[in-house]
Every structure is written in structure tokens, then in C-alpha cells.
């Protein structure tokens, strides 16, 4: 089968690999129908994810159809269309029982697919703990509509769930890329008073405004963001801030625009350590909540998609076939052609 393989030192390639097999009775074999490229794949490519193994098949954002299941798999059957959870989790350990599936104590627990074990930028993939890692897609939901369920929408749903939002609150999301857009869409389920999108990319801000994903858009290159946030909140600052951009400047902006006693959620992945300047922050009494996402709500997310409350199709700006995925990597990594996300057709490659 064809697969995208990470070779270290910034090198990836589309090449032939053996078909995966059922190893444990809790496994399922999935034929990948639609995949995409995540910023985390780019981080792996450039060595910024220490746990990533050279020679691994990349990819953790994809949907597909179940081909075979192990004897212990009960919830999923051959032929089911499924969304795949970014995280592998046993469901039985201390952390899984408390919903902290990102910290599953299994040897391959947490983010394993496309990082420590072979992922879904391939024609077929083995999914461990299939009853936990796969969620059946409703018949009325297309593959494209379900594509971001297991990672980006799970990230946004998790960020919104931990945010303690009240209907009158002002919520600021830094980063109008894929993670930021999904976070804003999930925040809207909680009906905040104002939802503010912050980014330096004018095209992305225009898209967010056009699709009515945010109430207000701010560009740090043009707007005095701290001042504008204070104006919107009677001088207090944002009630909840999500940092989804992943730079030192956006990390600093996150705590600066938060009001005293606010919550700051960090969902971005950073390539370098960040520093909290406690003397400057003293007295703000901020609470920081950080991730890896606990992606345990895929079924709830698919129900919201089915009801029309979560629609991410506006994020798919590019479509291609699996034979052209390396070209897609170049376009996505370097943000060419106004790309936000790809939908890459894998079935029949």
C-alpha cells in the first residue's frame, strides 16, 4: 500500500509499505477514505516532536471504513464508516477512567497515531483499542464533514469545555487557523456574549468574519489589540483567552489581554519553551489550562455535526488525491494559495 513515511531531518516520502494486520483482539483495520495534513505533522517533519519515531507512517486526522475487527471489538463492525480519534486509550487505567485520555498509561496511550505508531496517511491503518478510538459516522454526515472530528474539533470541544464560559463573557481566540477556527465553532455552542478572533493573516480573518464564526476580528499588525479588548470589556480584559497560534508573541498576548482572575487556555503546540514573567503578571491571579487535548467526546461532536451546529467545511480550501500529498505538504507548510486545510482522497489511490 502507499503511505507517507517520516524519515527524520525534515524528510518525508510517499512510498510502498506492507498492509497492516490485526495484532491484538482489540484492534481494527481501517481503509482510509479521506485524510488531511495537520500542523503537528509539520512539527514532526522538522524534529519538534521528540517522541516521534523515524520510519513511522504519518497522519492522525482521517476518516475511513472498517475492514476487519479483532474478536474483542464490540461497538464497531466491518463496513462501518468511522471517524478516528487522535488519541489511543485503553479506557481502564487511572487517567482514562477520569476522562484524561491524553495521559493513558498504556504503552501506546495518548497521541500515538502518526507519531509513535503508524498513522492514517496511508491506504490502510491498524487502530488499537478500536472501541475507544473509532466512532461511527452517522449516515447523514459526509466524510468531509466528519474529517476533523478526532483531532481539531476534539481540540476545540475540549478547549470550550474547560473554559467555564458564561453567556455574557467575552472570549478571545488567538489564531484563526484550523485549531483556532474549530475552537471558535465549539465556543459558540456555549453562547458567549462576544467572540473575538485575533490573527495577523488578513485572509483568514476575512474568512472568519465572512462565515460569521467570530463577532469581532482583530489584527495585531493593524489594531491595538490590548486596547481594543479593554474597550470591549469596560476596561477589564477578556474573560477567557485561548492561545491557538503557537508563537512567543501570541503566548505573551494571551496573558496580557486576559482580565484579572481569568482563565487562559493553551492549545497550541510550541517548538520552543515559553516563559511566564511572574513579576509582570503578579496580582492578575490567572489560571492557565494546558493541553494535549483529552479527545474523548467524538460521539458528542458528531451529533453536533449531524444537527448542523458544527460545520467545518469552510476550512477545506484545497482538495487533492493521495498521489499528490507531498505537493500538498509543501503548499500547507508554507501557507501557499490561501490554504487552510486539505481534503486528501485516499481510497482508490
CATH number of the domain residue 199 falls in: 3.40.50.720
Order across the sheet with 170-174: list the strands: 216-218, 194-198, 170-174, 238-243, 258-266, 287-290
In a shared domain, residues 143 and 94 = yes
Confirm if 55 and 7 have CB atoms less than 8 A apart: yes
Q: Do residues 45 and 97 share a domain?
A: yes
Q: Does residue 234 share a domain with residue 300?
A: no
Specify whether 146 is located in the same domain as 220.
no
The domain boundary, picked from 263, 290, 317, lies at: 290
For residues 244 and 311, membership in a common domain is answered with: no
Q: Which pLDDT score is estimated for 83?
A: 98
Going by their DSSP bridges, the two strands 341-345 and 28-35 should be labelled as: antiparallel
Checking DSSP bridges between strand 62-69 and strand 28-35, what pairing results, if any? antiparallel
Q: Give the Cα-Cα-Cα angle 8, 13, 14 (nearest 5 degrees).
A: 150
Contact between 192 and 163 under an 8 Å Cβ cutoff? The reply is no
Phi first, then psi: give them for residue 221, nearest 5 degrees: -75, -15
Give the pLDDT of residue 269: 84
Same domain, 257 and 330: no
pLDDT for position 328: 98
Quote the crossing angle between the two packed helices 178-187 and 152-161, to the nearest 10°. 40
Over its C-alpha atoms, the chain yields an Rg (Å, rounded) of: 20
Cα separation, 64 vs 50, whole angstroms: 28
**Same domain as 147, residue 6:** yes
HEC profile for the chain?
CEEEEEEECCEEEEEECCCCCCCCCCCEEEEEEEECCCHHHHHHHCCCCCCCCCCCECCCCEEEEEEEECCCCCCCCCCCEEEECCEECCCCCHHHHCCCHHHCCCCCCEECECCCECCCCECEEEECCHHHHEEECCCCCCHHHHCCCCCHHHHHHHHHHCCCCCCCCEEEEECCCHHHHHHHHHHHHHCCCEEEEECCCHHHHHHHHHCCCCCEEECCCCCCHHHHHHHHCCCCCEEEEEECCCCHHHHHHHHHHEEEEEEEEECCCCCCCCCCCHHHHCCCCCEEEECCCCCCCHHHHHHHHHHCCCCCHHHEEEEEEHHHHHHHHHHHHCCHHHCCEEEEECCCC
Number of structural domains found in the chain: 2
Give me the pLDDT at residue 155, please: 94
* Whether residue 317 is found in the same domain as residue 230: no
- Say yes or no: 26 and 145 in one domain: yes
Provide the domain limits for residue 97: 2-151+294-345
- Last residue of some domain: 268, 290, 312? 290
Are 332 and 4 in contact by the 8 Å Cβ rule? The answer is no
CATH number at 13 reads: 3.90.180.10
Domain end (from 246, 267, 290): 290
User: According to the model, what pLDDT value does residue 348 have?
Assistant: 55
Same domain, yes or no, for 160 and 127?
no
C-alpha dihedral sign at 74, 34, 159, 100: positive
The pLDDT tens digits along the chain (349 residues) read: 999 999 998 999 999 999 999 999 999 999 999 999 999 999 999 998 999 999 999 999 999 999 999 999 999 999 999 999 999 999 999 999 999 999 999 998 999 999 999 999 999 999 999 999 999 999 999 999 999 999 999 999 999 988 888 899 999 999 999 999 999 999 999 999 999 999 999 999 999 999 999 999 999 999 999 999 999 999 999 999 999 999 999 999 999 999 999 999 999 988 889 999 999 888 999 999 987 788 889 999 999 999 999 999 999 999 999 999 999 999 999 999 999 999 999 985 5
Is the domain of 212 the same as that of 337? no
Q: Are residues 42 and 64 in the same domain?
A: yes
Q: Tell me, yes or no, if the pTM score tops 0.85.
A: yes
Amino acid at each position: 500500500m502507499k503511505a507517507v513515511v517520516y524519515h527524520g531531518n525534515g524528510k518525508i516520502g510517499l512510498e510502498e509499505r506492507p498492509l497492516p494486520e490485526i495484532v491484538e483482539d482489540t484492534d481494527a483495520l481501517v481503509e482510509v477514505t479521506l485524510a488531511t495534513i495537520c500542523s503537528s505533522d509539520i512539527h514532526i517533519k522538522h524534529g519538534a516532536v521528540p517522541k516521534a519515531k523515524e520510519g513511522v507512517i504519518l497522519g492522525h486526522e482521517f476518516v475511513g471504513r472498517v475492514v476487519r475487527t479483532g474478536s474483542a471489538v464490540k461497538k464497531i463492525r466491518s463496513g462501518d464508516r468511522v471517524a478516528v480519534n487522535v488519541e489511543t486509550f485503553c479506557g481502564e487505567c487511572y487517567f482514562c477512567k477520569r476522562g484524561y485520555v491524553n495521559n493513558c498509561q498504556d504503552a501506546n496511550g495518548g497521541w500515538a497515531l502518526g507519531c509513535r505508531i503508524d498513522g492514517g496517511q496511508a491506504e490502510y491503518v491498524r487502530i488499537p483499542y478500536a472501541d475507544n478510538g473509532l466512532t461511527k459516522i452517522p449516515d447523514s454526515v459526509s466524510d468531509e464533514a466528519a474529517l476533523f472530528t478526532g483531532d481539531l474539533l476534539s481540540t476545540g470541544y475540549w478547549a470550550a469545555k474547560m473554559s467555564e464560559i458564561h453567556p455574557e463573557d467575552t472570549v478571545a481566540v488567538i489564531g484563526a487557523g484550523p485549531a483556532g477556527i474549530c475552537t471558535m465553532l465549539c465556543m459558540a455552542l456555549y453562547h458567549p456574549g462576544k467572540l473575538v478572533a485575533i490573527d495577523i493573516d488578513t485572509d483568514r480573518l476575512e474568512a472568519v468574519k465572512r462565515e460569521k464564526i467570530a463577532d469581532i476580528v482583530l489584527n495585531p499588525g493593524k489594531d491595538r489589540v490590548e486596547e481594543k479588548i479593554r474597550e470591549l470589556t469596560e476596561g477589564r480584559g477578556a474573560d477567557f483567552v485561548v492561545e491557538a497560534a503557537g508563537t512567543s508573541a501570541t503566548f505573551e498576548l494571551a496573558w496580557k489581554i486576559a482580565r484579572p482572575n481569568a482563565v487562559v487556555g493553551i492549545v497550541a503546540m510550541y517548538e520552543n519553551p515559553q516563559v511566564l514573567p511572574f513579576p509582570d503578571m503578579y496580582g492578575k491571579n490567572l489560571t492557565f489550562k494546558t493541553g494535549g487535548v483529552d479527545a474523548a467526546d467524538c460521539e458528542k461532536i458528531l451529533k453536533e455535526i449531524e444537527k448542523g451546529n458544527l460545520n467545518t467545511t469552510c476550512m477545506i480550501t484545497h482538495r487533492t488525491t493521495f498521489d499528490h500529498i507531498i505537493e500538498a505538504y509543501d503548499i500547507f507548510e508554507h501557507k501557499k494559495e490561501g490554504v487552510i486545510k486539505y481534503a486528501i482522497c485516499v481510497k482508490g489511490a
